[in-house]
Structure formats: C-alpha cells, structure tokens
Structure 1
Amino acid sequence: KHLSFGLCLTVGRPRVGARVMTGAKQSGSEATGTGLTKWRSIFKRQVTSIRWEMGMLVYVLIYFIIVFFTFALGDQKIARLICGEWITKDCKAGTLGILETLFNAIDIVFLTGFLLDISAKIFGLGMKYLKDWINMADFLIILVSMVMTILVISTDILDGATGVSLLPLFKVVRLLRVVLVMTRLQRSRERYRRMKMVGLSAPVEKVFEIIGDLRAKVIHPEDDKALAWTMDLIAKEELYKVSFTDSKSSSGMHLTAEMTDWLRSNLQASLPGGLLIRPTDKGEAGGEKQRSNSISGKQGLDPKGRRKSAQVQVANAVIPAWITKSISEPTVGSVLDKLEQWDFDVFALAEATNGHPLTVGGMHLMMKMGVLDKIPIPKDKLATYLNEIEKGYVPANPFHNATHASDVMFTTHFFLQAPLLRDMTGALDKFAAVLAAAVHDYAHPGLSNPFLIATREDKAVMYNDQSVLEMFHIAGSFRVMLTVPGCDISEYMTREQFRQFRETAVSMVLATDLKTHFEHLGRLKTRVATDAYASVERKDVLLLLGQALHAADISNPTKTRSLMMRWTERVMKEFWNQGDKESALGLPISAFMDRSQPQVPQCQLGFINVLVKPLFVEWHKLLGETAQPAINELENSLKIWGEEGTGPCEGWDKEEFVR
C-alpha cells in the first residue's frame, strides 16, 4: 500500500476551464450561444428573486381588488354610483359603454403583465417551468382569458352591424377572470413563502448551481464527467481527506501492514472509494470472523467454545412474562396492530400498557422486525434494559418523557421501511437505530441546551457546552447498559459488532441536536442533488440514519390533527415551565417560553417553515411514497395554524404542569 497526502483534484482529471474556453472560441455561433446563456442566467436570477415574487404578489392583489369590485357590484350598481340615484337611460347606456371599455382595457393590461411574467420564467428557467401542471394550467388560463377578452372587444366593434349578443361571451370572460386571479394569488403567495425560505440555504447549494450551469455549457463529454466527479467529491466531503491508494504515491513511501493499520485507526483514512459493502444478515459486522468481546468479562475462553455458549445463552433467554402477557391483551394488541401506520397512536399504547409503551412496544417491535434472530441479543436482558431506560425518563416532563421516546422509536421504524433505508441497512444497524430512538432523550430534565449552558449546570460543564443533552442522553444510556445488572445487551456481541452498534447509536443521538440541523440538512441536500446514494459509504448510512431519527424527533407537526395538537400542547407547556424558571433566575425569557404571551401559532408556523418542512421536503425526495403521509399532514398543520390562529388552543390548562 502507498499513502498519498494532499488534495489531488487535477491528477488524472481534464483541465475543465481550459477546455471550456477553447470550445467557446470555436465558432461565432457558440459565442452567440454564450451571450444567450448569459441573458438566461440574468433572467433566472431575477424571476427567482424574492423581489420579483413580492412584486407579482402586489400586482395580483391589485388585479384581485379590481375583479372583486366589478364582480361583486356588477355594471348596474357601478353605473348607479356614477350617475346618481336618478339614473337616466342615456346616462346608463353611456356609463355602461365606458365601463365595459375600461374593464376590457384593464384586463388586457394585467393579462399582458401575466404573460410577460410567464415568458420571463420560461426564458430564464427553460421549458421545465411548464412541466409543472399547475404552471401549465396557469399559462393556459391566462392565454384563454387574453383570447376571450380580445374576442369580446372585437365582437363589440361589430355588434351594431351583426347583432351578435355579447352576454354569454362576457360571462365566460368574467368567470375566467375570477379563476385566474384566485389561482395567481394562491400561487404567488406560495412562491413568496418558499422564497423566504431560500435565504436559509447553505453556500454549497449555490456552488452546485454554478457547477450545474457550467455542465450545461460544456461540449466535451470528458469535461462533463470531470465536473460530475467534482460535484460528487464535494457532496461526499472528501476535498481534504487523506486516502490510501493502490498507485505509487508522490513521496514513493512504502508502508508496512502495521503502519497502514495505525494510520487507518488514528487518521480516519479510507480505502479507495471507501465503498460500503451492503450488509447481509449472516455474519454482519464481522460475524464469526471476529474475536470475542474483551469487555464482556469472559476473556481467555476459546473463541469457538464461547460462541457456542453465547448461542445457547441467547437461545434460552426469554421475554419476561409480564411483557408477553401485556402484548397478548386485546386492548394492547389492537393498538400494536397499527404500529406501521403513520397515524399510529402512541398515547393509546401508553394507556393500554399502564405507562409502559417503551418497554412493551419496544420488545414487540424488535420481535416483529426479526433482528433478534440475526444478532446475539438476549431477550431477557433487552427487556430489562428497555425497562430501566423507561424508568429513567421523567414522567413530570410534559413533552420529553417515555411516551415521546416511544413515538420517536415507532416513527424511526416507519422510516426504516422505505426501500432506500431498508436496503442499505442490515439487522445490526436497524437494531441500533430503533434502540437509539428509544434512548435519545434518556433522563431529559425538561430544559434546553441554552438554559443549561447559561446556568452553568453540571451537564454543560461536563460536556463543554457541546451538544450537552445529546451527550448526556447517549452516555447515560450506555452507562445503564454496561453497569446495571441484567442490562448488558452487548455481552455476546463481537468487538466489531459492538463498535458498529455504538458508532451508529452515538452518531444518531448526536444528530438530534438542533444546533446541527442546517449543517446536516445541507449535506443531505447535496447528496440528493448529486444522486450520491447510487454508491453508498458508511458515512452516508450514518447521515441517513441520523436524519431519520432527527426527522422522527421533530415530526409532531407531520402527524394527524388530533396527535399534532396533543404534542403541541405538551411541548408548549414544557416551554412555559422553562420560561418560569428563567424568570425566577432573572434570566431573559427565551422565545415562545413566556407563559403570559403564548404565541402558539407563531411558534408552530416558524418551527414548521424553518425546520420541519425543509427537512421533510428533502426526506420525501429520498424516501418517496413512504414520506408522503407526512408531507400531506404537514400541509394540513400549516393550514390549521395559519387560518385558525389560537382557536385550537382553547381549553388548555396553562397552570397544569407548573413545577
């Protein structure tokens, strides 16, 4: 093996810039094409800017007022307003004629503006703009309205000579005007709302846009391939990564096997490509080839003998009777039958299991997944461990309690059923993902990271203000596993299995820190944009699993109305409890945590638009139909908080959870 240091962006890769410049000078037609491309880029920037959408929104609103005014009052009432109460026949006829001409002229002006708007977007964005059926319908309505209005004007000129009645045609035009203005108003509002979110995008998205535009200009296939390689390199974050290669390095240094192992272990260097072999259920994560776990307390045993003993121990382990009895009860079974549905009611499970949704639901889920048949996890120790974790959650917390952990656990499992995640994860990763969801808020104090840091709480000091709660949760859950009698579910794992299990669980729980939300979302978006999941590396799996848990953790607004409202009430009450503590300590009250100024709709709308919706839009691109129910309910939640205001909050007891 050889070790290559440095960033090798140009080794074996064509010089893209030089070739593009050479190609650009080949002919005058190409120079003309370059000028056209420049103008298209200018138009694209303009029509996708927030100022353009704001201007179109105002433009549509003005037209809406005019159409509403004419449609609501009608020509007769407008003529009466102009001519006065004692309207004469001549005045009425003259006024109606003027009004008709005026309204037709206004229609022509506004319809021309709409056509210019669509033309600019087609020129800047290309014909793909019309591939959206809503944009196409908008275009057709405008076009038909324009044609009908022109027909009305031209027919009016000939009306005296032909005797043709304008009434049917005029009614059709008015109806089209109403349809047009409503659709345009709705579309302009939606675009403006989306444009307000664009400012949250990462710079890397602009980089990809520039490279994408450059790929559209290149002539030679080699250049396109090189640019695609560059995008893939950026998406995989390997610009400055040291890697082992099979070719001779520039230094000509030869490494021993021991040095190679040391470098791989300490520098986190990768093998060529770093491709992850998709896991299989047999012998996963090293399986039979790995040595026995040195932390299990059974060192010195013959590996073959120990494996045989482990198989017997695991096979003989049974689920505690109280759990199997609970699962077999009709009330519990009827709830668990729906656990793979998006509208699964975890509150019903908590009630049916007498406050044990995490232990009973978790064991049922693990058995249903079949992972315990493929990795050496004793069922009795898993049940004991889940029960200890459940007892570690604080029941007094309105939100961060065992019910929330159970909901996140089932939601994470729901995401794991998507073909992408199902195919790239084996039994060990699936087990680690569900367990990470179960422990992700273990022993949560009901307070936020900023509060713990501001008050110099012991946890903040211990974890140096970095992902304080997330570090606390995952460390505490492993402490229970390795120190509480009867809870060591890793006892019969090999060293490699335990390493992978711990790596997955730790990575996933740390990904729930909201501080890393935009960083991880940016990485996810670049991978989606470059189709990076066609060839998967281990870090891609960890990123996806981390985002699966993070999405599940903030998924409350994506649930059905009844579930969404119950979670919203709980999280707001926990917010207000922290606000009370901040007030008592003389600290500034955090946003949305002031009990005297609840602002629930504003809180939820901001949370959805800034955090939840951008993540679930990308999540939907990856998971497809699996995430569609979440997208549907998310739009319903936006409508609820946008249209009903504080109405859904009536009846909340704001003092109920004050401690």
Structure 2
Amino acid sequence: EEEPDEEPLPPILLAIPTRALAFLEQSAHQWDFDPFALTDMTGERPIRSMGLYLFHQFDLTDKFGIQLPVLEAFLDLVEEGYKRHGNPYHNCTHSADVAQTCCFILSRHGLASWLSDIEVLALLFAALIHDFEHTGTTNNYHVQSRSQLAVVYNDKSVLESYHVSAVFRKMHEQGAKCNLVKCLSPTEYRQFRSLVIEMVLATDMSTHFAQVTAMKDAIPCPENLPRVDILAYILHAADISHPAKIWRLHERWTGKLTAEFFAQGDREKELGLACSPLCDRDKTMVASSQ
C-alpha cells in the first residue's frame, strides 16, 4: 500500500532555510539550545529564522492576522538594527537566544496557556527587540560620557528606553510593509505597547536585585504578582540565562561579553573617564565577574 503523502509545510516554515528548520524542530524546545549553530546555518540571520519559527509555534500570525511578508520585513528590520554596531555580545545571536529561552520557559511551565494571546505576542516581540541597535556600551558609559542618548533619556534606563523607542519609530516610519501590529485594535495596541515598554525597561541591570527580592517575596503567594511583572521576570531571566546553560555555551558567551566590556573600558581610558564596572581589562577577574 502507498503511504499517505505528508502534509505540506505551511508557508511560514517554508520561509526558513531547510537545514535551519530541521535544527529548530530538533532542538528549539531544549534549555541548552545552541544559538551560535543557528547563526552559522542561516548566514548570520538567526533572528529571521527564530522569529518565523516561534511565531508559527504560538500560532500568532493567524491569531493576529499578520501577513507573512510583513513578519519577514519586520524581522529583517530587527536583524539590521542588531548588526548596526557589530557588537561581540549584544547582537543577532543574543536576540535569537533570548527569544528561544523565553519561549522555552513559557512552554515548559505551562505559561503559554495561562497568558493571553496579546501577552504572548508582547513577550516574543520584546524578547526579539530588547537590545535593538545596542551601542555595545553600557548605560554607565552613556551617562559618564554625556552621550546624546543619555541627554535624550535623562540618564535613566538610557539604552532600554532607546531600544523600545527606536524599534517602534522605525516600524511605523516604514509603514504597513513591516508594521507587525497594524491589525491590532486601539485597545489591543495600547496594552501591547505598554507591556513591551515595561518588559524591556525591566532588562536594565540596575533593577536586577530589586526584581530578585520581589520574586523571592512572591514565592508564598505568586498569584498576587501583577501579570506584567511575571512577563518582565521571564524576559529578564532569559536575558541573563547563559550562566545556567551548559558550560560550552556559557564560556563562549562570557568571552563575547568580556570582549565587549573591555573594549568599552579601553575607550573610557582614552576619554579620561573612570572604567565602568567589569570593563577594566587590567583589573577584572573574568570568573568572578560572572
């Protein structure tokens, strides 16, 4: 007897390179997913493939009427932004890694069915864009050097504020062709935008210990936590998760982060500024920095 024909892949998956799709289907649901391998097999375009795959996994294109060309254009816009400064760490691979880790947490712990569709969309969007056009330098550097961004954002969560602002501005400037949220109702859009802003601003490391304290305090009654806080904790945890991954991945990420920090420290010395924490290559102990 003839075997029944396999169902054809949906267009969103056909838009992913064959090798990358096979890799994602095999390992995207694992904690120790290797984003560097995805970057290599997509020709330095991991955001595009990861974004398409995760939007399909959560059925977001159908739920929100997002057309495939619009999603592709949006992901290309995001990818271009991450490549702007050629950062060793805050780059396309980091974006894809954080998005995958967020979605692992959602799937592994049953949160995907607890959250609303708009909350899942906001979390995936925030994960992908949370370091959009990152300058490869820290907030402290911007404040110390009195950069234009520090002036615009009043020295408060400088980069995080910029990431959100820049991606929304560019998405709207380019019109309907890459406006991922053009099909949202005004009410949905306000909720979506508010969630994204709160989540990305909460990736500011200056809020880290306050978030840890709040999470510990909430353990007896987690149901009392505001939903936006839970989303923010998921993104923040994913953003700094590489020390909890297998050694091979953690060691590689540490090398890239250290290179970015030390380049900043060198620049600060040239400008006559005090080196930011962890940025002085002559004094920083890499192991203890992690």
Instruction: Tell me the TM-score normalised to structure 2 length.
Output: 0.91
Whether 2:65 is the aligned partner of 1:376: answer: yes
What does residue range 68-87 of structure 1 map to in structure 2 within 5 Å? Answer: none
Q: 1:392, 1:442 within 8 Å by CA — same for their partners in 2?
A: yes
Offset at residue 420 of structure 1 (A):
5.3
Residue 588 (1) aligns with residue 278 (2): no
Task: Give the alignment partner of residue 415 of structure 1, picking from 105, 114, 122.
Answer: 105
Deviation at 1:325, TM superposition (A): 4.6
Q: Distance in 2 between matches of 1:490 and 1:450?
A: 33
Q: Distance in 1 between matches of 2:288 and 2:209?
A: 21
Equivalence for 1:439: 129
Matched, 1:335 2:9: no
Give, as a single letter, the amino acid of the residue that structure 2 aligns with 1:391.
E
CA distance in 2, matches of 1:483, 1:532: 40
The one-letter code sitting in structure 2 at the alignment partner of 1:413 is C
Secondary structure of the equivalent of 1:417? helix
- Equivalent residues in 2 for 1:144-183, closer than 5 Å: none
Matched, 1:398 2:81: no
Aligned to 1:501: 192
Amino acid at match of 2:273: L
Deviation at 1:450, TM superposition (A): 0.7
Task: Give, as a single letter, the amino acid of the residue that structure 2 aligns with 1:332.
Answer: A
Give secondary structure in 2 for the equivalent of 1:374: helix
Give the whole-Å Cα distance in 2 for the aligned partners of 1:428 and 1:447: 32
Tell me which of 106, 125, 139 is aligned to 1:449: 139
CA distance in 1, matches of 2:42, 2:22: 12
Shift of 1:426: 1.7
Question: Residues 21-79 of structure 1: CA distance to partner in whole angstroms, max 9, x if unpaired?
Answer: xxxxxxxxxxxxxxxxxxxxxxxxxxxxxxxxxxxxxxxxxxxxxxxxxxxxxxxxxxx
Cα distance in 2, alignment partners of residues 580 and 324 from structure 1: 45
Displacement after TM superposition at 1:566 (Å): 0.6
2:189 counterpart SS class: helix
* Deviation of 1:591 (Å): 2.9
- Tell which deviates more after alignment, 501-510 or 586-595: 586-595
Match of 2:215 in 1: 524
Please state how far the C-alpha of 1:598 moved relative to its aligned partner.
4.2
| RMSD (Å), alpha carbons | 1.6
Aligned length: 277
Return the letter of the residue paired with 1:570.
K
Task: Quote the residue 1:563 is aligned against.
Answer: 249
Partner of 1:475: 165
Compared CA separation, residues 584 and 556, structure 1 to 2 (3 A): same
Q: Which amino acid aligns with 1:388?
A: L
> Structure 2: any 5+ residue segments left out of the alignment?
1-10
Distance 1:367 1:474 in 2: 24
Gaps of 5+ in 1: 1-317, 605-659
Q: Does 1:550 align with 2:236?
A: yes
**Aligned partners of 1:385 and 1:487 also within 8 Å:** yes
Contact 1:371 1:428 (8 Å CA) reproduced: no
| Contact 2:140–2:276 under 8 Å retained in 1 | no
Point out the structure with max Rg over C-alpha.
Answer: 1
1:387 aligns with 2:76: yes
Q: Distance in 1 between matches of 2:252 and 2:204?
A: 23
Q: How far has the Cα of 1:350 moved from its partner?
A: 0.5
Measure how far apart 1:481 and its partner are: 1.7
Q: Secondary structure at the match of 2:99?
A: helix
Q: Is residue 575 of structure 1 aligned with residue 261 of structure 2?
A: yes
Alpha-carbon distance between aligned partners in 1 of 2:189 and 2:163, rounded to the nearest angstrom = 18
Cα gap change, 1:523 to 1:598, in 2 (>3 Å): closer
Write the distance in 2 (CA, Å) between the matches of 1:514 and 1:508. Answer: 12
User: Is the 1:393–1:443 contact (alpha carbons within 8 Å) kept by the matching residues of 2?
Assistant: yes
Say whether 1:355 aligns with 2:41: no
CA contact (8 A) 1:349 1:357 kept: yes
Q: Is the 8 A contact 2:32 2:245 kept in 1?
A: yes
Structure 1 residue 447: deviation in Å?
Answer: 0.3
- Deviation of the 1:520 alpha carbon: 2.2
Do the aligned partners of residues 376 and 452 (structure 1) sit closer, same or farther apart at CA in structure 2, a change above 3 Å counting? Answer: same
1:334 is aligned with what amino acid?
A: A
Indicate conservation of the 8 Å contact 1:335/1:345, yes or no.
no
C-alpha displacement at 1:333, in angstroms?
2.5
Letter in 2 for 1:343: D
Give the counterpart letter for 2:282 in structure 1: S
Shift of 1:421: 2.3
C-alpha distance in structure 2 between counterparts of 1:324 and 1:355, whole Å = 18
Helix, strand or coil: the match of 1:523?
helix
Alignment of 1:12-91 (within 5 A): none
Partner residue, 1:515: 206
Highest RCO, 1 vs 2 (Cα 8 Å, sep ≥ 6): 2
What residue number does 1:114 align with? none
Distance 1:487 1:423 in 2: 28
Which residue type is aligned with residue 575 of structure 1?
A: F
1:589 alignment partner, SS class: coil
Identity %: 36
Question: Residue 428 and residue 518 in structure 1: after superposition, are their counterparts in 2 closer, same or farther (change >3 A)?
Answer: same
Do 1:576 and 1:595's aligned partners in 2 also have CA atoms closer than 8 Å?
yes
Q: 1:593 Cα shift?
A: 1.5
| Shift of residue 601, structure 1, vs aligned partner | 1.2
Partner of 1:427: 117
Deviations 1:591-615 (A, max 9, x none): 32122334111211xxxxxxxxxxx
Distance 2:24 2:121 in 1: 19
Distance 1:451 1:375 in 2: 39
2:227 corresponding residue in structure 1: 541
AA of the residue aligned to 2:63: K
Q: CA contact under 8 A between 2:16 and 2:52: conserved in structure 1?
A: no
Structure 1 Cα separation of the partners of residues 204 and 102 of structure 2: 16
- Kindly report which structure 2 residues correspond to 1:303-342, keeping only aligned pairs within 5 A, or say none: 324-327=14-17, 329=18, 331-337=19-25, 338-342=27-31
Distance in 1 (alpha carbons) for counterparts of 2:123 and 2:58: 12
Amino acid at match of 1:513: D
1:459 aligns with 2:149: yes
Q: 1: distance between equivalents of 2:21 and 2:120?
A: 23
Query: Aligned letter for 1:499?
Result: R
Contact 1:359–1:387 (CA under 8 A) maintained in structure 2? yes
1:490 aligns with 2:181: yes
Q: Deviations over 1:69-106 (max 9, x none)?
A: xxxxxxxxxxxxxxxxxxxxxxxxxxxxxxxxxxxxxx
